[in-house]
């Protein structure tokens, strides 16, 4: 097996045939990330793409950095494993990851790559002397219904949501122009760098009936919190949010997120991923 760059057509072919392909495999990410994003395939001897993933190369202080694309959970690793035999299937997966581990180890600079939560066997990377560090995301099962989901909120969260509603905080759908300023203000408050153009492209690409939704909470005629989610058939992802804590309401952020979870439940999406 070899690893080399693949074009967007090859990427789309692999993802289109895979039922597990989801939000981070969508072709729209090309427009969001631009030419900085490179897609790589694990190829067999015939040149057939058996697996694929995507990385971004950047420079900082003269150091080359490789990572999964910004604003995504992971490198969107996806494999076409056709064997139904458990032992052969596990062996095939291990060989694919061994090829990827060897490739990543040979890249110049600093490499930091996240893999999908479904990738749990990291032994090939340990064998390749990579440093393997667990990362976490939190997923809520929405099949139990909204009331059961809310029952599992922390008591403090339920209380601030209740107080927000009592104090007259409203929850309304939000547009891109309403979401973006609060995200920018939140990053500025935390003194964190933000690629404003890329966030704008994400909202432009995904904030629509078939791919994403956003809600704002308003208090005293001001938007004080926003939450934006993208979704696929498997789950909704809380991607971006903002909260004006100086003149807002303590429960505004929790209320916006609660409304997103309810929206995902009403759409029949199985899980909510808190990213």
Rounded to an integer, the average pLDDT of 59-70 is: 94
**Residues 6 or more apart from 148 whose CB is under 8 A from it?**
none
Residue 244 has a pLDDT of 85
In this structure, what are the phi and psi dihedrals at residue 241, rounded to the nearest 5 degrees?
Answer: -155, 165
pLDDT digits (tens, 9 = 90+) for 76-119: 999 988 878 889 888 989 999 999 999 999 999 999 999 999 99
Q: Which of 117, 109, 83, 115 is nearest to 97 (CA)?
A: 115
pLDDT band at 128 (very low <50, low <70, confident <90, very high): very high
C-beta neighbour count of 157 within 10 angstroms: 16
Residue-wise burial string across 181-212, b where 16 or more C-beta atoms lie within 10 A, e elsewhere = ebbeebbeeeeeeeeeebbbbbbebbbeeeeb
pLDDT digits (tens, 9 = 90+) for 134-173: 988 999 999 999 999 999 999 999 999 999 999 999 999 9
Residue 34 has what DSSP assignment? G
Residue 26 has what DSSP assignment? -
Q: Is the pLDDT of residue 246 over 90?
A: no
Beta-strand ranges (E) seen in the chain are: 2-5, 37-43, 49-60, 63-67, 78-79, 110-112, 139-141, 170-173, 212-219, 222-231, 235-243, 271-273
Q: Is the pLDDT of residue 247 over 80?
A: no
pLDDT band at 68 (very low <50, low <70, confident <90, very high): very high
Residue 186 has a pLDDT of 87
Residue 216 has a pLDDT of 96
What predicted TM-score, i.e. pTM, was given to this entire model? 0.90
Residue 113 has a pLDDT of 96
Share of the chain above pLDDT 90, in %: 80
């Amino acid at each position: 097996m070899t690893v080399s760059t693949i074009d967007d057509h090859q990427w789309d072919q692999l993802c289109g045939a895979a039922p597990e392909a989801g939000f981070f495999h969508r072709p729209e990410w090309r427009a969001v990330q631009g030419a900085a994003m490179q897609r790589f395939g694990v190829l067999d001897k015939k040149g057939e793409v058996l697996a694929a993933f995507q990385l971004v190369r950047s420079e900082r202080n003269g150091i080359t950095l490789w990572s999964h694309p910004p604003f995504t959970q992971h490198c969107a690793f996806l494999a076409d494993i056709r064997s139904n035999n458990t032992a052969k299937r596990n062996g095939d997966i291990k060989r694919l990851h061994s090829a990827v581990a060897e490739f990543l180890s040979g890249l110049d600079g600093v490499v930091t790559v996240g893999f999908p939560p479904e990738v749990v066997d990291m032994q090939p990377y340990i064998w390749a002397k990579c440093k393997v560090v667990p990362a976490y995301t939190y997923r809520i099962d929405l099949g139990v219904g909204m009331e059961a989901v809310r029952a599992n909120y922390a008591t403090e969260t339920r209380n601030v949501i209740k107080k927000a509603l009592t104090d007259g905080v409203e929850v309304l759908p939000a547009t891109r122009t309403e979401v973006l300023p609060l995200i920018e203000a939140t990053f500025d408050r935390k003194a964190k760098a933000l690629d404003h153009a890329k966030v704008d492209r994400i909202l432009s690409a995904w904030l629509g009936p078939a791919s994403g939704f956003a809600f704002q909470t308003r208090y005293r005629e001001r938007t004080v919190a926003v939450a934006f989610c993208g979704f696929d058939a498997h789950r909704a992802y809380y991607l971006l949010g903002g909260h004006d804590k100086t003149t807002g309401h303590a429960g505004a952020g929790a209320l916006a997120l609660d409304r997103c979870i309810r929206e995902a439940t009403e759409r029949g999406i199985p899980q909510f991923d808190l990213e």
